[in-house]
Structure 1
């Protein structure tokens, strides 16, 4: 009986990581889509008058409501993954993984705060914000998300891929996908709109793999 408890916990940790990762990936993808639709870039964003559209304001409000939950599930995902690999991997990569995950979360919250400021200056009565305030808030939100948060996400993806390869817990194809994802987040996401969606896509793939492996181990143990 004493041996079953640790075995059960060892199986539940990666399964919890997978479930948290799936929820995080879906929430982050929804947040990015809503923010892109609510606070556009390029020609659409030159004037502030477009933000008086109630549909855009509602999209931004919905995104801002999702971000805290996305951060919570990401931290749960990060903690569960570290619990699964922390006793085996060297402290250098474990520290990089933890640090990049925490900075990503903090920067994502900073981008949300900047977007909140853009939304706030659209009042009173849905009037358009001044062009200076609109441009400042919009650029700050996108800079934090695409230049900083996504590059920290690239560090997180690359460190997780190296850990998975060294431990042999990730298949080669998923390691290769992680390398491509990290490169895209580092060099493309700040210049190509919607490119940041590769991060929730990678998180969804990793989470699905963790859930699949966890399910196989559970069946083997039960038999």
Structure 2
């Protein structure tokens, strides 16, 4: 009996259906985050991808589209925080300290930089509408915002994707190909997030895919040796 207890104590944790009792909450939060962030990114790209300072000052419609997109960012952030919290609660017995730290740290850094980019964008819009607007200051703000979001925030999103995929491969919660795809998405974000305008959409698209799979996939029981 002692041998049985010691053997059971060394067995790795198994993701059983009770263990994933709130997986639906994680899926819904991930879907909400992905849809909101994708909508915000598309609106911002369509409205701000081209045009100079004078065009923005004279085109109120483009500024309105950008403002709509920026107004979606806080709600996307709330959903992302909920997604992080639920996933951490469900993976608490499986993830080790390394992946726990990287997962939480990269997710919070991504969200912080996303909010900073949104704040600077709102300030830029208000500056453009001002009669004393400065073209050089507007160009500096625009470049800084793009760098924060497209380069630094997306690389933190890549690290977040890597950590989630690494921990997810230890379970049988969803098909493994979703996590292998996560590795590919993370690699693209690390290497080319600041060079292609639409590359950042890969992150919310992958979160959307993962969330949909979690929502409609029944958690299986992983085999242990």
TM-score > 0.5 by shorter chain: yes
Displacement of 1:166 after TM fit?
2.0
1:51 aligns to 2:60 (yes or no): no
Does structure 1 retain, via aligned residues, the 8 Å contact 2:33–2:79?
yes
Match of 2:192 among 168, 183, 188: 188
Query: Which deviates the most, 168-177 or 47-56?
Result: 168-177
Tell me how far apart the structure 2 counterparts of residues 105 and 17 of structure 1 sit (CA, whole Å): 17
Tell me how far apart the structure 2 counterparts of residues 122 and 32 of structure 1 sit (CA, whole Å): 20
Displacement of 1:9 after TM fit?
7.4
Which residue of structure 1 aligns with residue 66 of structure 2?
Answer: 60
Q: Which has the larger radius of gyration?
A: 2
After superposition, the CA RMSD in angstroms is 2.0
TM-score, with length taken from structure 1: 0.86
Which residue of structure 2 aligns with residue 82 of structure 1?
Answer: 88
Does structure 2 retain, via aligned residues, the 8 Å contact 1:161–1:170?
no
Unaligned segments of structure 1, at least 5 residues:
1-6, 218-223
Q: Secondary structure of 1:122's match?
A: helix
Unaligned segments of structure 2, at least 5 residues:
1-15, 220-225
Does structure 2 retain, via aligned residues, the 8 Å contact 1:104–1:150?
yes
TM-score, with length taken from structure 2: 0.85
Tell me how far apart the structure 1 counterparts of residues 170 and 210 of structure 2 sit (CA, whole Å): 16
Tell me how far apart the structure 2 counterparts of residues 151 and 170 of structure 1 sit (CA, whole Å): 24
Aligned length: 204
Does structure 1 retain, via aligned residues, the 8 Å contact 2:173–2:214?
no
Which structure is higher in helix share? Answer: 1
